[in-house]
């Protein structure tokens, strides 16, 4: 089981929670310091969530087919990581939609 990837996901969740809570978090990468394009960051995040979903599905399929190098704990952890990443993506989308509605309701 790859604990480094799990630690990375937990770090991203903590950063996202700090940002959502309004506290200022130290940027995790140099991209945030250099003013990276929001669309590029959002696309990378969506691609990562999609990749985790695909990896979880592949591991589950391999386990169902009886692959000897795939264990049930690995499959379950992978599915849970994909679920957490998906839930984070949904929360970010909800916040973006709420911000859009707030901006649209502003009087000029």
Residue 24 has pLDDT above 60, yes or no: no
Q: Collect contacts of 65-68 with beta carbons under 8 A, ≥24 apart.
A: none
User: Please, what is the angle between helix 72-104 and helix 3-20, to 10°?
Assistant: 20
pLDDT 10s digits, 40-76 = 888 888 999 999 999 999 999 999 998 888 899 999 9
Query: Is the Cβ–Cβ distance between 1 and 73 less than 8 Å?
Result: yes
Helix H, strand E, coil C: the string for 54-103 is HHHHHHHHHHHCCCCCCCHHHHHHHHHHHHHHHHHHHHHHHHHHHHHHHH
Domain boundary assignment for the chain: 37-108
């Amino acid at each position: 089981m790859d604990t480094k990837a799990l630690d990375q996901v937990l770090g991203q969740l903590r950063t996202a929670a700090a940002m959502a809570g309004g506290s200022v978090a130290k940027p995790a990468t140099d991209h945030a310091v250099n003013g990276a394009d929001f669309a590029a960051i959002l696309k990378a995040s969506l691609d990562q969530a999609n990749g985790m979903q695909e990896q979880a599905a592949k591991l589950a399929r391999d386990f169902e087919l009886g692959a000897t190098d795939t264990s049930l704990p690995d499959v379950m952890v992978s599915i849970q990581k994909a679920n957490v990443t998906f839930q984070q993506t949904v929360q970010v989308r909800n916040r973006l939609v709420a911000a859009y509605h707030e901006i649209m309701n502003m009087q000029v």
